[in-house]
């Protein structure tokens, strides 16, 4: 039997070579594989790429310190193109074929909502890095889902708290004409009314609008002193570029739901003066953040962007949970994760057991010029306490 | 309303600046259709390529004016080469072949642009002399928009004169009416076709550079542009130069004033006009084929 002789020869060779290492590499010492289905191409590809960099940077730093549970950590990323059906397929593949017991990623909330119901069957824990949809820790909550990042409602909440204390009195709102635009402006409108200020009007631009001149004229004529924007991607870049050309910012303060370095880079000077909520910005204070930013710069030559920071925080929380649990088994990891507290790049962040949302502060930033940077940079102008920013358990709205 | 006059003037200028961009796209598409009887689905991709080439030209030379020259040359040259290398082999086949090939080209160009320039949107700054504002009856108005409107008018006149006064213009008009006859009279029709395809793509390229300071150079430009362009050409009439001008003006004015008075229906209004034209004059306002 040639097969047997071949096998034994290879086995002997292997055993001979491996002998000196047996002591250090105990049984089952293969790496901890974290599956990462995320959108690496398509409209959300840039966000997915940020998440992947954030995860890989975290894994590298963990491995440099000897790994977790004496095992190395490896990230196995796969492209979902931002499509929920593909996300399910890729996640299943990562769990069943690649043997991943943990998941990162899912760039879009629609993907995360599609995958969440499967987690129990797979006996796998999914740690979100950027998913904003309030339902994930609300009506669609599942026990194997954890959200270390700031959610969408929390992001808007920070703006609401800010406008209560700000001087603006009359508000206008411009949003993209689909669910996200209408929902966010709906919440914003309520908040304006609650704070006793005046909401002038709202207007919605079709996705893919290129000419914003008429919208700019309407905002200017409305007499509002601040305008809330719910725009993203190309539409956001087009609006900001044109608003700058019409000097809209001289008359109306622009508030935005998203401040990220990518769009600042795309519009340059036109971003200066913009005020917005921020999940993470490299200019946040604190020693942990300074250390993170310095290490990141050394690795990639640029400062980390929003989702790179958020993904790092997700990694840090998972790291503490695994150490606490002493295992990556879902049933042992879950209770440990529920009590994780870290003091890291965004300050103190604590996971809560009731809906697996990490309780954390809210931040407002203003984009300005800073020496040493070619592009304008966001700088912190207000911080709001975690208990005011995080909604009640399994809720997406706020009572007061 | 004392504010009405300045409002009217600035809105009209807004519409003119927008019409200029739409015209660069529509005019190129219609020229190509007039001569070659093919619908160039890749027109939006050429427009996008213009914006990216413009970005690189500004990046390397620091001059927006050089970008305005470089982009149409590069994009037009690429278009002519594509016609020579690929489209030329397909004449005589039915329309589907061209649709497939130009659609395929759109996908390929999108991916190549992604590989060369990356996924992030890129900023193209207009020159300082155009970045200022002027006050039109106390309303601030960007100089760049005035420049856009003016360049639209200039290019429209240049193309019109080119078609009417030059020998190549004459050949183009003749070829669009009866290609076989022109061929029989000893003109290299194939060369005319390559030239027209190049010119049409070059016009889209200029449009791309000019649009970039308004919308940034981004991968979403192509699909957006191609839809508007088709609407303009369908309204104006496939193959009609004047039709594309009228179509561009109509769409721009309807968009600008429609968005102001009926923001929820502005987009629908554009398609409503297209529908009406299709029902009343199936060949377009100035189209020959009904």
Per-residue pLDDT of chain B (290 residues; tens, 9 = 90+): 567 888 899 999 999 999 999 999 999 999 998 888 888 999 999 999 999 999 999 999 999 999 999 999 999 999 999 999 999 888 878 878 888 999 999 999 999 999 999 888 899 989 989 989 998 888 889 999 999 999 999 999 999 999 999 999 999 989 888 888 888 888 888 899 999 999 999 999 999 999 999 999 998 888 878 888 999 999 999 888 999 999 999 999 999 999 999 888 888 888 999 999 999 988 888 876 54
What are the φ and ψ backbone dihedral angles of A397, each rounded to 5 degrees? Answer: -120, 170
What letter does residue A186 receive in the DSSP assignment?
A: H
Is domain A32-150+285-360 classified as CATH 3.40.50.2300? yes
Token digits of residue B49: 């390529």
Helix (H, G, I), strand (E, B) or coil at B138: coil
> CA of A217, closest CA in chain B: separation in Å?
8
Q: Which of B214, B255, B257 sits opposite A238 (nearest CB)?
A: B214
pLDDT 10s digits, A167-214: 999 999 999 888 778 888 888 898 898 888 999 999 999 888 889 999
CB contact under 8 A, B14 and A217: yes
- Alpha carbon distance B250, B244 (integer Å): 10
What per-residue string of b and e applies to B142-177 under the rule 16 or more CB within 10 Å gives b? bebbbbbbebbeebbeebeeebeeeeeeebbebbbe
Residues of A in contact with B257 (CB under 8 A): 214
Average pLDDT over residues A22-35: 68
Structure tokens at A116: 């969440």
C-alpha neighbours within 13 Å on the C-beta side of residue A209:
32
Task: Suggest the residue from A44, A82, A185, A214 to mutate for an interface test with chain B (most B CBs closer than 10 A).
Answer: A214
Distance CA A43, CA A389 (A): 29
Q: Do A217 and B7 touch (CB under 8 A)?
A: yes
Counting DSSP H helices and E strands in chain A, the numbers are 14, 15
Contact criterion met (CB < 8 Å) for A214 and B11: yes
State both tokens at A268: 């340059």
Nearest CA distance, B39 vs chain A (angstrom): 23
The pLDDT assigned to B178 comes to 86
Does residue A14 surpass a pLDDT of 60? Answer: no
* % residues pLDDT > 70 (chain A): 93
Chain centroid to Cα B262, Å, comes to 27
Alpha-carbon distance A62 to A312, whole Å? 11
User: Measured between alpha carbons, how far is residue B52 from residues A208, A269, B30, B74 in Å?
Assistant: 18, 20, 23, 11
Q: A347: alpha, beta or left, given left = phi > 0 and alpha = psi -120 to 50?
A: left
Phi, psi of A349 (to 5 degrees): -135, 130
Report d(CA A265, CA A269) in Å as an integer. Answer: 9
- The answer to whether B215 contacts A214, with C-beta atoms less than 8 Å apart, is no
The ipTM estimated for the assembled molecules is 0.90
Q: Is B121 within 8 Å of A234 when comparing Cβ atoms?
A: yes
Q: Percent helix, strand and coil across chain B, each rounded to 5?
A: 75, 5, 20
Beta-carbon neighbour count of residue A108 at 10 Å?
A: 24
The CA distance from A229 to A263, in Å, is: 14
Are residues A353 and A366 in contact, defined by beta-carbon separation less than 8 angstroms? no
Cα separation, A326 vs A337, whole angstroms:
11
Instruction: Provide the pLDDT for residue A21.
Output: 44
Instruction: Note whether B71 and B206 are within 8 A (CB).
Output: yes
Q: What is the pTM of this model?
A: 0.83
Burial (CB < 10 A; 0-12, 13-18, 19+), residue B37, is middle
Q: What are phi and psi of B79, to 5 degrees?
A: -60, -45
Q: How far apart are CA B28 and CA B43, in angstroms?
A: 8
Residue A195: predicted pLDDT: 86
Strand A73-79, strand A145-146: pairing: unpaired
CA–CA dist A39, A233 (Å, integer)? 15
- B260–A210 CB contact, under 8 Å: no
Block residue for tokens 């034209």: B277
Report the C-alpha gap between B192 and A236 in whole angstroms: 42
Q: Is pLDDT at A13 greater than 80 in this prediction?
A: no
How far apart are the C-alpha atoms of A214 and B260, rounded to whole Å?
6
- The four Cα atoms A318, A324, A330, A332 give a dihedral, to 10 degrees, of -170
Structure tokens given for A281: 């910005």
Q: Count Cβ–Cβ pairs < 8 Å, chain A vs chain B.
A: 96
Specify the DSSP element, H or E, that contains A77.
strand A73-79
Query: Between helices B4-36 and B43-61, what is the axis angle to 10°?
Result: 110
Domain A153-278+363-389, what architecture? 3-Layer(aba) Sandwich (3.40)
B256–chain A Cβ distance below 8 A for any pair: yes
Q: What's the confidence (pLDDT) of residue B289?
A: 55
Is the CB of residue A246 less than 8 Å away from at least one CB of chain B?
yes
Q: Please name which of B210, B187, B274, B201 lies closest in space to residue B238, comparing C-alpha atoms.
A: B274
The structural domains of chain A, with segments of one domain joined by +, span 32-150+285-360, 153-278+363-389
Q: Do A267 and B120 touch (CB under 8 A)?
A: no
**Are A32-150+285-360 and A153-278+363-389 equal in CATH topology?**
yes
Token code pair at residue A88: 């399910």
Cβ(B177)–Cβ(B56) below 8 Å: no
pLDDT at B35: 85
Residue contact B144–A245, C-beta within 8 A: yes
Examine the pLDDT at A26 and tell me if it is beyond 60.
no
Residue A8 has pLDDT above 80, yes or no: no
- Give the mean pLDDT of chain A: 89
Strands B133-136 and B139-142: antiparallel
Q: Is the dihedral of CA B34, B40, B43, B49 positive or negative?
A: negative
pLDDT tops 60 at residue A19: no
CB of A210 within 8 Å of any CB in chain B?
Answer: yes
Q: Which residue has the tokens 């002399």?
A: B129
Q: What is the pLDDT of residues A153-164, one digit of tens each?
A: 898 889 989 988
């Amino acid at each position: 039997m040639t097969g047997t002789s071949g096998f034994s020869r290879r086995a002997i060779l292997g055993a001979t070579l491996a002998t000196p290492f047996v002591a250090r590499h105990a049984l089952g010492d293969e790496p901890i594989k974290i599956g990462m289905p995320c959108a690496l191409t398509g409209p959300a590809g840039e966000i997915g790429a940020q998440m992947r960099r954030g995860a890989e940077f975290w894994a590298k730093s963990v491995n440099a310190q000897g790994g977790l549970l004496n095992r190395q950590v490896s990230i196995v990323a796969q492209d979902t193109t931002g499509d929920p059906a593909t996300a399910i397929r890729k996640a299943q593949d990562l769990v069943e074929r690649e043997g991943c017991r943990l998941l990162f990623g899912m760039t879009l909330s629609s993907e995360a909502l599609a995958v969440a119901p499967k987690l129990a069957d797979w006996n796998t824990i999914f740690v979100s890095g950027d998913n904003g949809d309030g339902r994930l820790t609300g009506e669609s909550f599942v026990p194997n889902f954890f959200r270390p990042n700031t959610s969408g409602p929390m992001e808007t909440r920070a703006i609401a708290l800010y406008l209560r204390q700000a001087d603006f009195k009359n508000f206008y709102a411009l949003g993209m004409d689909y669910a996200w635009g209408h929902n966010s402006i709906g919440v914003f409108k309520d908040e304006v009314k609650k704070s006793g200020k005046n909401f002038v009007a709202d207007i919605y631009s079709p996705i893919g609008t290129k000419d914003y001149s008429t919208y700019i004229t309407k905002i200017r004529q409305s007499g509002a002193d601040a305008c809330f924007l719910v725009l993203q991607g190309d539409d956001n870049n087009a609006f900001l570029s044109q608003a700058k050309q019409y000097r809209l910012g001289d008359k109306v303060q622009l508030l935005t739901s998203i401040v990220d370095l990518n769009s600042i880079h795309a519009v340059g000077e036109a971003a200066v003066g913009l005020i917005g909520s921020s999940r993470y910005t490299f200019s946040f204070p604190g020693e942990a953040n300074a250390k993170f930013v310095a290490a990141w710069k050394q690795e990639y030559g640029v400062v980390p962007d929003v989702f790179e920071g958020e993904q790092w925080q997700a990694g840090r929380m998972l790291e503490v949970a695994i150490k606490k649990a002493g295992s990556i088994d879902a049933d042992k990891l879950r209770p440990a994760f529920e009590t994780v507290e870290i003091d890291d790049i965004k300050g103190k962040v604590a996971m809560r057991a009731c809906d697996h949302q990490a309780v954390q502060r809210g931040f407002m930033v203003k984009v300005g010029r800073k020496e040493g940077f070619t592009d304008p940079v966001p700088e912190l102008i207000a911080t709001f306490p975690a208990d005011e920013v995080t909604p009640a358990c399994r809720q997406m709205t706020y009572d007061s | 309303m004392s504010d009405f006059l300045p409002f009217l003037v600035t809105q009209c200028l807004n519409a003119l600046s927008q019409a200029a961009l739409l015209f660069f796209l529509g005019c190129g598409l219609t020229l190509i259709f007039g001569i070659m009887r093919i619908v160039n689905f890749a027109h939006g991709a050429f427009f996008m390529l213009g914006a990216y080439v413009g970005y690189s030209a500004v990046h390397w030379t620091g001059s927006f004016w050089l970008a305005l020259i470089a982009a149409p040359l590069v994009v037009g040259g690429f278009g002519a080469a594509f016609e020579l290398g690929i489209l030329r082999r397909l004449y005589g086949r039915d329309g589907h072949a061209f649709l497939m090939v130009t659609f395929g080209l759109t996908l390929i160009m999108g991916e190549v642009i992604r590989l060369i320039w990356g996924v992030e949107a890129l900023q193209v700054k207009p020159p300082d002399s155009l970045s200022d504002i002027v006050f039109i009856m106390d309303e601030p108005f960007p100089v760049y928009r005035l420049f856009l409107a003016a360049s639209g008018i200039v290019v429209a006149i240049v193309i019109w004169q080119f078609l009417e006064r030059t020998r190549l213009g004459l050949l183009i008009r003749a070829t669009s009416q009866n290609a076989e006859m022109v061929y029989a009279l000893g003109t290299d029709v194939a060369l005319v076709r390559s030239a027209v395809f190049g010119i049409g793509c070059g016009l889209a390229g200029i449009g791309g550079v000019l649009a970039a300071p308004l919308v940034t150079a981004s991968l979403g430009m192509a699909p957006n542009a191609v839809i508007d362009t088709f609407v303009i050409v369908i309204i104006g009439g496939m193959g009609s130069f004047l039709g594309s001008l009228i179509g561009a003006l109509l769409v721009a004015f309807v968009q600008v004033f429609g968005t102001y008075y009926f923001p929820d229906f502005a987009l629908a209004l554009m398609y409503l006009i297209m529908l009406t034209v299709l029902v009343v004059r199936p060949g377009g306002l100035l189209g020959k084929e009904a």
